Amino acid sequence: MVDKRIIAALDVHSFSAMKELVSRLGESISFYKVGMELFYSAGPQVVEYLKECNKQVFLDLKVHDIPHTVGQSIRALTRLGADFMTVHSAGGREMMEQAAAAAQEEALRLGITRPKLLAVTVLTSMDAAAWQEIGGSNSVASSVLRLAALAKAAGIDGTVSSPQEAGDIRRQNGTDFLIVTPGIRPASAAVQDQKRIATPQQALQNGASYLVIGRPITQAPDPRQAAEKIIAAIREV
């Protein structure tokens, strides 16, 4: 029983811990997120291993720098063969355009499928107060929509956004635009450091394409059972 809309977050700090977790989850999960913690600890071999296991990979490094540097970074990361990768929308249109062009050019050069690029909008750990602290003068929701529109105009395939904004992004950016939502918490799970959250069912009903789920699966006593319970809950959504 697999649902490709679920991306399990491998928020561990070693290659061995990652292998153990993937083994425990078995065939219940086919898509994994590799974030900063794991990639900076274990490096590209993580992506290579997951691809050898016939898993899809969401490489979530939130690349954010001047346009040239981001373009060259995305060009290098494209060689790893991840399915999804992220840049930070706060870098602006030119930065995202260079990222999109670099991914396209490098994939064509290598004869591989181009990775989907996603723009991170406003982190799900931020609420209105935190957003104002860093100078956000508009609401979080309106800022997310503006960044999502900018990402689409720059040739980016989708966004990483809170499930609370997924419906508005879907209406604004259309049916083909990817919306990947972290901040997913089953009703029985602890909120922890996430602020703008939703249950898996709510996120999908709001327009999410994919759900990134970390601790409710990976820190459960039986991760596979936890994953399968979520899969069963969203089967009809």
Burial of 130 (0-12, 13-18, 19+ CB in 10 A): middle
pLDDT given for residue 111 in this prediction: 98
The stretches in the chain having pLDDT less than 70 are 1, 187-197
pLDDT given for residue 188 in this prediction: 57
pLDDT given for residue 196 in this prediction: 62
Q: Between 3.40.50.720, 3.40.50.10140, 3.20.20.70, 3.40.50.1390, what CATH number should domain 6-233 receive?
A: 3.20.20.70
Give pTM, 2 decimals: 0.93
> Which residues does the annotation mark as catalytic?
62
Domain layout of the chain by residue ranges: 6-233
Cα 152–158–162 angle (5° rounding)?
115
The answer to whether 83 and 33 are in contact (CB under 8 A) is no
The rounded distance, in Å, linking the Cα atoms of 228 and 49 is 23
What are the tens digits of pLDDT across the range 134-191?
998 889 999 999 999 999 999 999 999 999 899 999 999 999 999 999 989 886 554 4
Residues flagged as binding site for substrate? 11, 33, 60-69, 124, 185, 194, 214-215
The rounded distance, in Å, linking the Cα atoms of 220 and 228 is 12
The region that residue 38 occupies, defined by phi over 0 for left and psi between -120 and 50 for alpha, beta otherwise, is alpha
State how far Cα 19 lies from the chain centre: 20
The rounded distance, in Å, linking the Cα atoms of 138 and 111 is 43
The rounded distance, in Å, linking the Cα atoms of 53 and 144 is 35
The rounded distance, in Å, linking the Cα atoms of 3 and 116 is 19
